[in-house]
Amino acid sequence: MFSSLAEIVARAESTGRPLWRIVLDEEVEDADTTGERVLERLGERLATMREAVERGLHSDAPSVSGLLGGGARRFETWRAQGASVLGPFLGKVVARAQATMEVNARMGTIVATPTAGSSGILPAVLFSAEEELGLSEQDLVRGLLVAAGVGQVIVARASVSGAAGGCQAETGSAAAMAAGALTALRGGRPAQVSESVAFTLQGMLGLICDPVGGLVEVPCLTRNVSGAVQAVAGSELALAGLHFPIPADEVIDVMGQIGSELDEKYRETAKGGLAATATGRRLAASVRWDGPGFENTNAARARDLADPGPALAADADGGESHG
Amino acid sequence: MSVFDIIGPRMVGPSSSHTAGALRLGLLARGLLGRTPERARIGLHGSFATTYRGHGTDRAVAAGLLGMAPDDPRIPRSLEVARERGLDVRFEPLDLGPAAHPATLAFELEAEGERVTMVGASVGGGSVQVTSVNGRDVDLTGEYDTLIVQARDIPGTTASITHLLAERGVNIAFLEVSREKRGREATMLIEADHEIPDDVVEQVQAFEWVREARRLSKVTD
């Protein structure tokens, strides 16, 4: 596993091998497996990602809370009618970023890339590139490898956990991974892939994690849209040959540092930001806990949502503390 | 950190840390007990305490305790499955202090008169870190089969155990021995590249100087 993008780029440049190959070789060595097996498993993951996007684009089913549902389909229909000024590539990205997140929010099956809360971004960029740039399945699997390399560096230097580092650690990381993958798939040099990560992540720095009602719904879904758009823009800045003066590894470091300095209320506790607005609190209190797959015993849950502590303790006959 | 930790896990939503990671911790705790618990008491620390419902953490933990994988379609109704299978699972908020990872679960499981405790954090993207087993501090990722041994601190104990593993072709990835005080009780953590067979755990347990031998079976997707 790599601890810096500089190291991956240097290895690609010195060996003349593409980035995806550098990441693949490292995985084969670390995990004592074969390249074929890794590619096959990534192909399986890609198939799950594709199913989630398709299901999200074609269903109006509500999320478990009822706060979300049908947005991806609505946007896709509107876009396909020619109403959007984004153009087909970015328009598809915006629709698809919502699709996976809707499936995720109804407890459907997705692939965490790198997390479930940021799972809309990478598939949105990859599948839009497949359709609009004529990429193959094999290309997309290679894109997953480049994205994984970027993600590994982020985990080594910072975090991909919203509870540890805020939304910048989740959607910021996913956007950086998607930008790296897109840049590589469009023929960017290794150094440009690294530039695209820097351009993308710098724009996500400081983003807090403030989920309304503690659900992975609002604003997570639309933050995935922001991240996906940022990823495409970051990739294009790099492909056009622009240079961001702070190296990607340092941008990742500062993301981790900002995350550790974020107040707890901005780290997935639902105590700050949009979650703590008057409307955010009202929505949290009105959440339906009887959505698809939920049991009917949830009236009690809805009741004690406003005051979870005592209700929980009462549940647990006594409340002696654990070691 | 494999590429499959970054591009994965394949899972039922909505949260990799608070659903899939919580399930993985449940699976590890189940592995520690060696069977489906009859009673499970789960302490929720940090963001788990405030957001567990929205993330389906209760369903995920129950699913893990029942041995379900992170992409099992029964996860949304796992609490019902738990009732059917005689698992009484309860959740309560728990403050483990500022040093604990902001997404940590504390497990207390019982079955057939046996009791185990485990504390673990969900560190992001479905990855976990076990920090305590039966009250002993550990640092395990659940990516290796691990043998946890509490034994008297006398010469030759480590050699006897590693010999048993070697005989069965089990390669040791990491080995850590620590003790509270010379001559008192020592804790051995052995992380292995291969599966640690049941009978090896039994043979280790049978040593007169071993107080307790536990296997923490690895969890991978």
ipTM: 0.89
Residue A282 lies in a domain: no
Residue A46 lies in a domain: yes
What pLDDT score was predicted for residue A305?
Answer: 38
Domain match, A196 and A300 both: no
Of B8, B14, B93, the CB nearest to A216: B14
**CB-based contact, B52 to chain A, within 8 Å:** yes
Domain match, A294 and A265 both: no
Domain match, A235 and A301 both: no
* Cβ distance of A162 and B80 shorter than 8 Å: no
Please give, rounded to a whole number of angstroms, the shortest distance from the CA of A152 to a CA of chain B: 7
**CB-based contact, B100 to chain A, within 8 Å:** no
Asked if pLDDT for residue A51 goes beyond 70, the answer is yes
Residue A105 lies in a domain: yes
**Residue by residue, what is the 3-state secondary structure of chain A?**
CCCCHHHHHHHHHHHCCCHHHHHHHHHHHHHCCCHHHHHHHHHHHHHHHHHHHHHHHCCCCCCCCCCCCCHHHHHHHHHHCCCCCCHHHHHHHHHHHHHHHHHHHCCCEEECCCCCCCCCHHHHHHHHHHHHHCCCHHHHHHHHHHHHHHHHHHHHHCCCCHHHHCHHHHHHHHHHHHHHHHHHHCCCCHHHHHHHHHHHHHCCCCCCECCHHHCCCCCHHHHHHHHHHHHHHHHHHHHCCCCCCCCHHHHHHHHHHHHHHCCHHHECCCCCHHHHCHHHHHHHHHCCCCCCCCCHHHHHHHHHCCCHHHHHHHHCCCCCCCC
Size of interface A-B (CB pairs under 8 A): 224
Instruction: Give per-residue pLDDT as tens, B64-123.
Output: 999 999 999 999 999 999 999 999 999 999 999 999 999 999 999 999 999 999 999 999
Domain match, A100 and A160 both: yes
Tell me what the mean pLDDT of segment A12-21 comes to: 98
CA distance A149 to A177: 8
List, in order, residues 6 or more apart from A42 with CB less than 8 Å away: A141, A144, A145, B3, B7
Of B3, B15, B125, the CB nearest to A27: B3
Domains of chain B (ranges plus CATH)?
Answer: 3-140 (3.30.1330.90), 145-216 (3.30.70.260)
At residue A288 the predicted structure's pLDDT band, cuts being 50, 70 and 90, is: low
Domain match, A196 and A101 both: yes
Please give, rounded to a whole number of angstroms, the shortest distance from the CA of B155 to a CA of chain A: 30
What pLDDT score was predicted for residue B221?
Answer: 64
> What is the percent of chain A where pLDDT is above 70?
89
Asked if pLDDT for residue A321 goes beyond 50, the answer is no
Domain match, A259 and A305 both: no
Asked if pLDDT for residue A33 goes beyond 70, the answer is yes
Residue A133 lies in a domain: yes
Find out whether A70 and A60 touch, Cβ atoms under 8 Å.
yes
Domain match, A72 and A143 both: yes
Domain match, A297 and A223 both: no
Q: Which of B1, B4, B6 to mutate to test the interface with A (most CBs of A within 10 A)?
A: B6
Please give, rounded to a whole number of angstroms, the shortest distance from the CA of B203 to a CA of chain A: 29
What pLDDT score was predicted for residue A66?
Answer: 86
Domain match, A253 and A309 both: no
Find out whether B133 and B216 touch, Cβ atoms under 8 Å.
yes
Residue A144 lies in a domain: yes
Q: With 0-12 CB in 10 A as exposed, 13-18 as middle and 19+ as buried, what is A191?
A: middle
> What is the percent of chain B where pLDDT is above 90?
79
At A121, which amino acid appears? I
Residue A323 lies in a domain: no
| Domain enclosing residue A110, as ranges | 5-273
At B72, which amino acid appears? D
**Mean residue pLDDT across chain A:** 90
* Cβ distance of B11 and A116 shorter than 8 Å: yes
Domain match, A122 and A152 both: yes
CATH of the domain at A225: 1.10.4100
Domain match, A232 and A311 both: no
Question: Count of domains in chain A?
Answer: 2
A158-177 b/e (C-beta count within 10 Å ≥ 16 → b): bbbbbbbbbbbbbbbbbbbb
Nearest CA in chain A to B137: A323
Domain match, A257 and A304 both: no
Residue A221 lies in a domain: yes
CA distance A287 to B132: 35
Find out whether B202 and B34 touch, Cβ atoms under 8 Å.
no
Instruction: Give per-residue pLDDT as tens, B44-79.
Output: 999 898 888 888 899 999 999 999 999 999 999 999
